[in-house]
Structure 1
Amino acid sequence: MAVEGGERDYVQSLERGFAVLLAFDETRTEPTLAELATATGLSRPAVRRLLLTLQRLGYVANDGTRWRLTPRVLTIGQHYTASSALIETAQPHLLRLAELTGESASLAELDEFDAVYVARVPVRRIMTINVAVGTRVPAHATSMGRVLLAWSGPARITRYLEEAPLRPLTSRTVTDPADLRMALSEVRDRGYSVVDGELEDGLLSASAPVRDRSGAVVAALASSTSAGRLAPEKLRSDTVPVLREIADALSTELGYVPRAASVERDGFF
């Protein structure tokens, strides 16, 4: 993502405020000031000032020595959802995908090294991790992430392969940069991605690209199930055509008009 402005335009205190907010997670639901200082690497006096500012703004509250987030933090994500034409436009398409497949349907965007769920229609709980709008999953181990990476451009792919922590989440997770580059090439060739058991054992998912009016891939549409419910071959033969049709319909509604086929892989990989 391109960043405008130079060092003189950088507000470090704002960065530190977000660092404190982001330090609250599933392992630190009600941390102490000392725990937040350790998590952020900031001094205790600095964290105290930031917490008191966030408290005055209504984003955190304290119970004795422990701090917690307030419901006001949800408004930040709510404003993003409300202001995103993509999410509003995608909702009926997600519902249609879920109805036709009987499986959960999701929409994700790429943020640094992760695919982030921005819209979702759950059908049944198939993952042990809690999946909701805002959930981040490693791009390298997910069908959504691979779709988003495959069309992100040569420079971003190279940076991802050089800098992303390609952690093995299961015994099947692709962690070798060369193998992942090849997998991304195959995604572009096929026009979709299928990932079997790389994020979580037994989790099977397929994703297809969603394009805007310029033709850029702005999101990935996904259908997720379990290997016990559907074999990978059946997912490819039955679910993928429906998934791609709906992803194309969403792209059309966003203004995308397919152009004549071109050799877009030249020099890409």
Structure 2
Amino acid sequence: MAARRSPATTAAASSAPDETVEPQGAPVRQRDLVAGLDKGLQVIEAFDQERPRLTISEVAARTGLTRAAARRYLLTLCHLGFASQDRKLFALTAKVLRLSQSYMHSARLPRIVQPELMKLSRELKEASSAGVLDGSDVLCVAATSAGRAISSTLQPGTRVPAWCTANGRVLLAAWPQEAVQEWIAQQALQPRTPQTLTDPQRLAAEIEQVRERGHAAVDQEFEPGLRTVSVPLLNFRGETVAALNVSVHASRMEMDELQEAALPPLRQAQAHLRQIL
């Protein structure tokens, strides 16, 4: 008859090495990382709105891979249905949307924020969106247009530069000012419109003011005709986890009118979401 194992022995046996979870915030060991997955995702990220079709050499240049490695990853993506090939050019297929759908259907943030966006849209009859910081960009995770065609960037999955957008400045304002200045120094501050603020010192000062007043207001700096007001979304610990905005077309509303109309409901949404984030 086999000897019975004690509860302690059973627990120890069930804690297999591959099931060990590192404490939150602990550095990840290199041996625990899958380099192939990392590089494959880099290849997918190499494609964007400006470069929807790329050659093997262009993918290699944008990812830092060798040409041979880039070729293998692209052929693998084609085999799996995530990319297509037309002679020397490669492009992503609609199957890549499965990756974003997995996030949108499972992540807590978009599901919690979307109802608040709908309330703002019904009250103000203007577009509203929420975004998170991703490198140098703001990634839109939820949005509603209120039936108005304002900007193609106001939809989930789109990316916009953080430094010249209201959501971006709100998210950057959550950092210490020294970190903000270091981040600005790494950006290519090319003007998007005649109103775009491109001076690094003035931009840093503007983000500092955003931190002090608790909201950002951007008047046609990112896109002509687009005016936006944004506030940070805080969790119950007071940490900034996202940004929430209201956007209008300049022909319909002046900047001071937008702030007067949009800030009170934005503050209400901010307070409500802080209780559940």
Shift of 1:175: 1.6
1:25 matched residue in structure 2: 48
SS at match of 2:79: helix
In the aligned structure 2, how far is the partner of 1:187 from the partner of 1:149?
Answer: 9
- Residue by residue over 1:51-106, the C-alpha shift from the partner in whole angstroms, topping out at 9 and shown as x without a partner, is 12223333223345443322221121122222321211111101001111111110
SS at match of 1:141: coil
Higher relative contact order (CA 8 A, sep 6+): 1
**Structure 1 residues 169 and 45 mapped into 2: Cα distance closer, same or farther (>3 Å)?**
same
**Identical columns (%):** 38
SS at match of 2:122: helix
In the aligned structure 1, how far is the partner of 2:50 from the partner of 2:216?
Answer: 32
**Structure 1 residues 35 and 158 mapped into 2: Cα distance closer, same or farther (>3 Å)?**
closer
From 242, 248, 259, the equivalent of 1:219 is 242
- Per mean C-alpha deviation after superposition, the further-off stretch among 29-38 and 187-196 is 29-38
TM-score (norm. length: structure 1)? 0.84
- Residue by residue over 1:112-158, the C-alpha shift from the partner in whole angstroms, topping out at 9 and shown as x without a partner, is 2111111111121112x444212111111111111111112345313
CA contact (8 A) 1:152 1:217 kept: no
Root-mean-square deviation (Å) = 2.2
Alignment of 1:1-269 (within 5 A): 4-5=27-28, 11-123=34-146, 124-127=148-151, 129-254=152-277
CA contact (8 A) 2:84 2:92 kept: yes
**Structure 1 residues 39 and 162 mapped into 2: Cα distance closer, same or farther (>3 Å)?**
closer
Which structure 1 residue ranges, 5 or more long, are not aligned? 255-269
- Per mean C-alpha deviation after superposition, the further-off stretch among 56-65 and 4-13 is 4-13
1:261 matched residue in structure 2: none
> Highest Rg: 1 or 2?
2
- Per mean C-alpha deviation after superposition, the further-off stretch among 118-127 and 55-64 is 55-64
Which structure 2 residue ranges, 5 or more long, are not aligned? 1-24
